[in-house]
């Protein structure tokens, strides 16, 4: 038993059962929240387990052998996930991202992808640490997965092994990226979380490595998700600094967003070496344009990555709610959404109890 005690808020059980409205309006496909934001993206966490113990996400001191991961019966089945996804699609969701935990640890994930791919008008993507892609990429692509995002925080083996804290070498992730490219799951995005004093020396080497590859490297500011990663503002490397460092070696120019509300700010190399992105969730909050809903592994709907409680759709489903009832519940929750955590972040809010990213899905 690990003796180090870190207070970890277990917010998984919080939240009353959502009430079913008396009126059951049919979805219009144009749902908006209290700030006028549409619901376009649904992130679905398919497992709370991971084969990495990234120090900024699932530190071993908390997620050790004694940690109570969800029992199998608590997880939404593929049929339950697909049922909900159809309802979200009717409300306007056009993109689904499968995540976790490590989504490729969920057995037969390709079967879920095939079920989701049968929903008209939905793009299906996946975020992964990449290690299982050599085994899974072809089957996932055949099932209908369109793109993958692979997380990679360093090319330096010692730094990477220390960050994933499971001694996984960089080569395994690079092999995963190659497998995804060979399976046609591109353009591939590579996510690097930059943490001060940990991997900032890897910003330029990663940029150099992926220039000209066709893959899009994105730098993410270290965020205060959950309660277990010991976040401090001093550990955040602002995107402006990331861009300055790269620009000094490989000159950059800004690129227009692909669409309104795009999370990553786009830049391209002046010499034609391709594109990079920065995700400035801390220094330039983008709550005003956030169109993402999140479905946790056990079927709770969260309307913000920094929420402390979710809305239990699984119980409603398992108690026999109709599609019309579930749809009205989802619509009502989104209508009432007012979250804008990143815009009001401070040292005080960072200490608030929040759901862990491995549970809600990254």
For ligand SAM, the binding residues (CB under 6 A) are 50, 56-57, 99-100, 102, 127-129, 151, 191, 193, 220, 222-223, 225, 229, 357-358, 362
Give the end-to-end CA distance of the chain in Å, rounded to a whole number. Answer: 28
Minimum distance of ligand SAM from residue 191's CB (angstroms): 4
Closer residue to ligand SAM (CB): 81 or 193: 193
Minimum distance of ligand SAM from residue 328's CB (angstroms): 31
CA-wise closest residue to 190 among 294, 276, 257: 276
Minimum distance of ligand SAM from residue 88's CB (angstroms): 20
Closer residue to ligand SAM (CB): 57 or 185: 57
Minimum distance of ligand SAM from residue 31's CB (angstroms): 25
Closer residue to ligand SAM (CB): 191 or 327: 191
How many angstroms separate the CA atoms of 362 and 358, rounded?
Answer: 7
Minimum distance of ligand SAM from residue 100's CB (angstroms): 5
DSSP-derived secondary structure for 221-287: E----SSSS---GGGB--HHHHHHHHHHHS-EEEE--SSTT-SSEEEEETTS--EEEEE-TTTS--G
How many angstroms separate the CA atoms of 56 and 173, rounded?
Answer: 18
User: For residues 98 and 44, is the Cβ–Cβ distance under 8 A?
Assistant: yes
318 phi and psi angles, rounded to 5 deg: -75, -20
CA-wise closest residue to 281 among 246, 302, 305, 253: 305
Closer residue to ligand SAM (CB): 125 or 191: 191
Closer residue to ligand SAM (CB): 201 or 318: 201
């Amino acid at each position: 038993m690990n003796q180090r005690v870190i207070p970890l808020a277990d917010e998984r059980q919080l939240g009353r059962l959502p009430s079913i409205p008396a009126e059951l309006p049919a979805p219009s496909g144009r749902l908006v929240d209290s700030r006028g934001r549409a619901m376009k993206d649904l992130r679905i966490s398919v497992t709370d387990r991971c084969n990495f113990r990234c120090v900024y996400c699932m530190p071993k001191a908390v997620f050790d052998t004694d940690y109570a991961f969800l029992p199998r019966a608590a997880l939404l089945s593929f049929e339950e996930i697909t049922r909900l996804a159809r309802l979200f699609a009717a409300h306007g969701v056009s993109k689904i991202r499968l995540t976790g935990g490590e989504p490729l640890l969920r057995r037969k994930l390709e079967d879920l992808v095939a079920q989701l791919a049968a929903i008209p008008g939905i793009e299906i993507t996946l975020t992964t640490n990449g290690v299982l892609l050599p085994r899974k990429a072809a089957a996932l692509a055949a099932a209908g997965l369109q793109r993958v995002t692979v997380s990679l925080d360093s090319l330096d083996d010692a730094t990477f092994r220390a960050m994933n804290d499971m001694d996984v070498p960089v080569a395994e992730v690079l092999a995963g990226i190659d497998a995804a490219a060979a399976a046609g799951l591109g353009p591939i995005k590579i996510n690097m979380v930059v943490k001060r004093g940990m991997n900032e020396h890897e910003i330029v080497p990663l940029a150099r490595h992926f220039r000209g590859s066709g893959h899009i490297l994105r730098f993410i500011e270290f965020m205060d998700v959950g309660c277990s990663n010991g976040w401090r503002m001093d550990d955040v490397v602002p995107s402006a600094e990331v861009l300055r460092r790269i620009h000094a070696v490989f000159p950059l120019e800004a690129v227009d967003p692909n669409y309104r509300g795009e999370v990553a700010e786009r830049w391209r190399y002046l010499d034609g070496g391709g594109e990079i992105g920065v995700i400035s969730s801390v220094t330039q909050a983008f709550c005003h344009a956030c169109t993402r809903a999140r479905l946790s592994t056990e079927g709770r709907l969260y309307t913000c990555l920094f929420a402390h409680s979710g809305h239990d759709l699984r119980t409603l489903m398992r108690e026999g709610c109709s599609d019309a009832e579930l749809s009205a519940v989802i619509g009502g929750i989104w209508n009432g959404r007012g979250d804008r955590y990143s815009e009001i972040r401070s040292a005080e809010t960072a200490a608030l109890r929040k759901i862990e990213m491995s549970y809600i899905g990254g």
